[in-house]
Amino acid sequence: MTITQLKQNKGKLIGAACVIAFAALLYSLMEEPVAQPEVKTDNLVEFEGSELVENKNGKLVWKLTADKIMIDPQTEIMYFTNPKALLVDEEDGTEMTITSPNGVVDRKKHTIEIKPPVSAATNRNDTLQTEGSVYYNMNTHMVKGGKVVMNRHDNTSLRADAFETTTSMDKVTLTGHAQVTKGE
């Protein structure tokens, strides 16, 4: 470009520079992905093909099976490879099955974390899709997580930035950009 062309397009060039600077600022302010804490495998106790089960009054509350379970004896945190969680609703007996490549159980915090990618469905043909982990609270028997799409057997579709639900998906709390669509 010649000096004359630069003078004629000075406003456009300054605008483009401002846009680039603004984009760089936004990029630098964006949250960096949270790194998964590294698991030191040298002090873990390993089991192949094991399961954990919790019953209440003779009825199954939840069952977690996996190809491999590794337990840290110091923290009592359990790491699962290819976990399959079966969660049973206390009120109506609806069963939710959640599968994933990895999961973590923290008995001290009373949580089961099923890490993404997550596949979740009930025996009533309800489905749950989320971008992040799904957390099951062993005390409240509630399932929660981040951005979600739920499709229920009654043709209701639910979307939100975060959710908390019973395992039967009958009682759902949606948070942030919530959308409920009732089908025909």
Q: What is the pLDDT of residue 55?
A: 92
* pLDDT tens for the 184 residues of the chain, in order: 577 776 777 777 777 776 776 666 666 666 544 444 455 556 788 878 778 899 999 999 999 999 999 999 888 899 999 999 999 998 899 999 999 999 999 989 999 999 999 999 999 999 999 989 999 999 999 999 999 999 999 999 999 999 999 988 889 999 999 999 997 6
What is the chain's length? 184
Tell me if 85 sits within 8 A of 98, measured CB to CB: yes
Q: Which domains does the chain have, with CATH numbers?
A: 45-182 (2.60.450.10)
DSSP the chain: --HHHHHHTHHHHHHHHHHHHHHHHHHHHSPPPPPPPPP-GGG-EEEES-EEEEEETTEEEEEEE-SEEEEETTTTEEEEES-EEEEE-TTT--EEEEE-SEEEEETTTTEEEEPSS-EEEETTS-EEEESS-EEEETTT-EEEESSEEEE-TTSEEEEESEEEEETTSSSEEEESS-EEEE--
Q: Tokens standing for 90? A: 């206390």
pLDDT, position 4: 74
pLDDT given at position 18: 67
- The pTM score is 0.73
